[in-house]
């Protein structure tokens, strides 16, 4: 499928400075989300900020090889193994992983019309794919809602996974492959494998994927570790109960949360409530 004009929306420096897409850009981006189930906001984040994020990632986990990450994942820690050579990390939200990332003004202004003024941040993590990491299976971030009634594909957007590559990700390093328009399919109807769309990710991109859209992390055939930041936003009534419910979705010191502006705290209250829930599940289920 070659529809670059439909799913890549270039964010200009002026739009980034203003914290808002121009009307025509926003219209094209909403159209892509509705019809394709994803959009790439190219240049949503300032390159200097993403460089800072990458440096913070390296400071926290860059010293670990695959064996070190596997060892962490076998013990209670923010790291879990999600495939051969692929690890999901609940990043500590310090340094550049601050409100400039999860409360990016342009990003939130785009998401609010999709999911409401009271949308919530469900979690912040990173996925590191090491050299040799396998391709993931085709999957949605959550199954279609109300499967008995087969109305899920027709529902408006209720959760979006926002990917922010911390480095340029070419075909060898392994971006995320996406099946366009698969958010409009019931769970029992899968698209053909050949419909898989791959496109290089650039540092500064924000790749917004509807929670229902089928996708797969592609293999890492390079010698470079591929870290991508993931931020999940959802309508205030949607809780992700299927993906690692016993793991805290946010790693933010309480004093950091308390120091946030009062206007920002509601965005994170969902994630904090899930932290408490995860602790209770761990206590009762062991």
Q: What is the full DSSP assignment across 1-38?
A: ---HHHHEEEPPHHHHHHTS--HHHHHHHHHHHHHHSE
Between 26-40, 80-94, 99-113, 266-280, the lowest mean confidence (pLDDT) is in 266-280
Instruction: Say whether pLDDT at 256 is over 50.
Output: yes
* Contact by Cβ (8 Å): 268, 233: no
Q: pLDDT digit string (tens) for 197-207?
A: 999 999 999 99
pLDDT, average across residues 196-217 = 97
pLDDT, average across residues 185-202 = 96
Mean of per-residue pLDDT scores for the chain = 92
- Model pLDDT, residue 276: 66
Reading the block at residue 37, the tokens are 């189930």
- Model pLDDT, residue 67: 97
**Distance (Å, whole) CA 67 – CA 82:** 14
pLDDT, average across residues 114-122 = 95
Question: 234 forms bridges with which residues in the sheet?
Answer: 120, 159
Length of the chain: 286
The answer for residues whose C-beta is within 8 angstroms of residue 27's C-beta and 6 or more apart is: none
Q: Would you list the domain boundaries of the chain?
A: 4-238
- Percentage of the chain lying above the pLDDT 90 cut: 84
DSSP-derived 3-state class of residue 101: helix
- Model pLDDT, residue 250: 87
DSSP-derived 3-state class of residue 254: helix
Cα–Cα separations (whole angstroms), residue 8 to 38, 128, 129: 9, 24, 24
DSSP alpha helices (H): ranges in the chain?
4-7, 13-18, 23-36, 47-61, 66-73, 99-102, 105-115, 254-258, 265-285
Instruction: Say whether pLDDT at 285 is over 70.
Output: no
- Model pLDDT, residue 5: 62
pLDDT, average across residues 162-187 = 97
Q: Where are the beta strands (DSSP E) in 84-242?
A: 86-89, 120-129, 159-165, 176-178, 206-210, 215-217, 226-234
**Distance (Å, whole) CA 49 – CA 47:** 5
* Contact by Cβ (8 Å): 72, 212: no
Phi-psi region of 150 (alpha: psi -120 to 50; beta: other; left: phi over 0): left
Instruction: Say whether pLDDT at 281 is over 60.
Output: no
- Model pLDDT, residue 1: 42
- Model pLDDT, residue 2: 43
pLDDT, average across residues 44-50 = 96
Backbone φ and ψ of 221, nearest 5°: -100, 10
Specify the CATH superfamily of domain 4-238: q2cbj1_9rhob like domain (2.60.120.620)
- Model pLDDT, residue 3: 45
- Model pLDDT, residue 284: 61
Among 87, 25, 58, 113, smallest CA distance to 230 is for: 87
**Distance (Å, whole) CA 106 – CA 11:** 10
* Band (247; pLDDT cuts 50, 70, 90): confident
Pairing verdict, β 120-129 and 79-83: unpaired
- Model pLDDT, residue 232: 96
Among 163, 172, 215, smallest CA distance to 53 is for: 163
* Total Cβ atoms within 10 A of residue 14: 9
């Amino acid at each position: 499928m070659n529809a670059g004009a439909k799913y890549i929306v270039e964010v200009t420096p002026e739009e980034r400075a203003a914290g808002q897409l121009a009307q025509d850009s926003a219209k094209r981006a909403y159209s892509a989300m509705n019809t394709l189930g994803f959009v790439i906001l190219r240049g949503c984040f300032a390159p200097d900020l993403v460089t800072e994020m990458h440096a913070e990632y390296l400071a926290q986990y860059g010293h670990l090889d695959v064996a070190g990450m596997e060892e962490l994942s076998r013990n209670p820690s923010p790291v879990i193994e999600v495939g051969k050579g692929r690890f999901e990390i609940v990043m500590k939200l310090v340094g550049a992983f601050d409100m400039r990332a999860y409360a990016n003004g342009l990003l939130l202004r785009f998401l609010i019309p999709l999911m409401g003024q009271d949308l919530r941040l469900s979690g912040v993590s990173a996925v590191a794919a090491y050299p040799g990491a396998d391709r993931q299976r085709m999957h949605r971030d959550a199954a279609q809602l109300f499967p008995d009634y087969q109305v899920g594909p027709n529902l408006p957007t209720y959760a979006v996974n926002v990917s922010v590559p911390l480095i340029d990700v070419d075909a060898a390093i392994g971006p995320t492959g996406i099946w366009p328009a698969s958010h409009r399919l019931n769970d029992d109807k899968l698209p053909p494998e050949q419909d898989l769309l791959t496109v290089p990710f650039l540092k500064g991109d924000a790749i917004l994927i509807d929670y229902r859209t089928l996708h797969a992390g592609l293999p890492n055939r390079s010698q470079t570790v591929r870290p991508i930041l993931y931020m999940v936003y959802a309508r205030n009534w949607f809780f992700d109960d299927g993906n690692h419910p016993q793991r805290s979705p946010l790693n933010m010191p309480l004093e950091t949360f308390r120091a946030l502006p009062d206007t920002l705290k509601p965005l994170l209250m969902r994630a904090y409530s899930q932290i408490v829930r995860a602790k209770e599940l761990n206590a009762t289920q062991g």
